[in-house]
């Protein structure tokens, strides 16, 4: 007679032990995935030109505002640095006309001054993080980022009809904004005027101060 050797009873793990084992296994897999699959950087929009004041023959300074990574960069091309053909190309191809600038890598600079080296003939860029001119009469508590409003109609060089991007309501608003430093004086005078007229019922309601760089 052949006898079968009795088998050892199976050990059954408790639900708690199984849960802990699964957690450890998942944590281990996740750790390996973090090592093997590096975090991908977020895609950034390419810089784009949003304003310009240009002397087409290059006999005077030309000024540009560039939006890069939700930051506004001011670029001044000194007189004589670019010829007329290159200035014409700035509208659609400014990144290939100008020397390489750290639009995405460095968010601290505000102004780039472009000159041409008289010895090498190459374009050079001097970056500055100094404070830029801005309206000093900040009396309303509401500060409005220019990226939070959307133009619905062009009215004048510094004036546009707009709406809140996050609001689909029909409310009509008028925004005025200086593009470059010599226009700040006009915004300063008008802002003071609205401060004087506030609450008298004889002027449009002042909704707040629009900014692209925080000067205050």
- Residue 124 inside a domain? The answer is yes
- The total number of structural domains in the chain stands at 2
**pTM of structure:** 0.74
pLDDT at 136 over 80: yes
Distance in angstroms (rounded) separating the CA atoms of residues 57 and 55: 6
118 lies in the same domain as 150: no
> Which residue from 184, 179, 183, 195 is spatially nearest to 64, judged by alpha carbons?
179
Cβ–Cβ contacts within 10 Å for residue 64, how many? 23
User: Is residue 83 within 8 Å of 92, Cβ to Cβ?
Assistant: no
What percentage of the chain has pLDDT greater than the value 70? Answer: 76
Q: What is the DSSP string of 164-206?
A: ETT--S---EEEE---SGGGHHHHHHHHHHHHHHTTSSSSPPP
Range with lowest mean pLDDT among 17-26, 54-63, 88-97, 115-124? 17-26
Average pLDDT of the residues of the chain: 81
- Residue 21 inside a domain? The answer is no
56 lies in the same domain as 123: yes
- Residue 1 inside a domain? The answer is no
Cβ–Cβ contacts within 10 Å for residue 135, how many? 21
Element (H or E) spanning 216, and its range?
Answer: none
Please give the residue that has the higher pLDDT: either 81 or 3.
81
Q: Give the pair of three-digit tokens for residue 122.
A: 């190459």
63 lies in the same domain as 106: yes
Distance in angstroms (rounded) separating the CA atoms of residues 165 and 150: 6
121 lies in the same domain as 164: no
Please write the tens of the pLDDT for every residue from 16-31. Answer: 443 343 344 444 444 4
Distance in angstroms (rounded) separating the CA atoms of residues 88 and 123: 17
117 lies in the same domain as 147: no
- Residue 20 inside a domain? The answer is no
Q: Give the pair of three-digit tokens for residue 70.
A: 């939700």
Please write the tens of the pLDDT for every residue from 49-80. Answer: 999 999 888 889 999 999 998 889 999 999 99
Rounded mean pLDDT, 119-145? 93
156 lies in the same domain as 107: no
162 lies in the same domain as 189: yes
| Predicted local distance difference test score (pLDDT) of residue 170 | 59
CA distances from 96 to 156, 165, 205 (A): 30, 32, 44
| Predicted local distance difference test score (pLDDT) of residue 1 | 32
148 lies in the same domain as 94: no
Domain span at 158: 143-211
Rounded mean pLDDT, 87-114? 90
pLDDT at 13 over 50: no
As beta bridge partners, residue 163 has: 150
Domain end among 67, 96, 128: 128
> Which residue from 114, 111, 58 is spatially nearest to 87, judged by alpha carbons?
58
């Amino acid at each position: 007679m052949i006898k079968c050797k009795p088998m050892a009873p199976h050990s059954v793990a408790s639900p708690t032990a199984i849960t802990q084992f699964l957690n450890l296994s998942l944590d281990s897999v996740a750790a390996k995935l973090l090592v093997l699959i590096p975090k991908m950087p977020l895609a950034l929009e390419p810089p784009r030109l949003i304003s310009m004041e240009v002397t087409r023959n290059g006999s005077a300074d030309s000024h540009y505002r560039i939006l890069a990574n939700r930051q506004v960069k001011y670029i001044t091309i000194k007189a004589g640095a670019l010829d007329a053909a290159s200035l014409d190309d700035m509208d659609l191809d400014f990144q290939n006309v100008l020397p390489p600038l750290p639009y995405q890598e460095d968010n601290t600079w505000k102004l780039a001054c472009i000159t041409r080296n008289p010895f090498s003939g190459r374009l050079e860029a001097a970056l500055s993080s100094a404070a830029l001119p801005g309206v000093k009469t900040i009396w309303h508590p509401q500060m409005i980022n220019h990226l939070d409003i959307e133009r619905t109609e062009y009215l004048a060089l510094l004036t546009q009809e707009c709406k809140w991007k996050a609001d689909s309501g029909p409310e009509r608003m008028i925004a005025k904004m200086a593009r470059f430093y010599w226009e700040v004086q006009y915004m300063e005078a008008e802002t003071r005027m609205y401060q004087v007229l506030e609450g008298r019922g004889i002027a449009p309601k002042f909704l707040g101060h629009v900014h692209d760089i925080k000067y205050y």
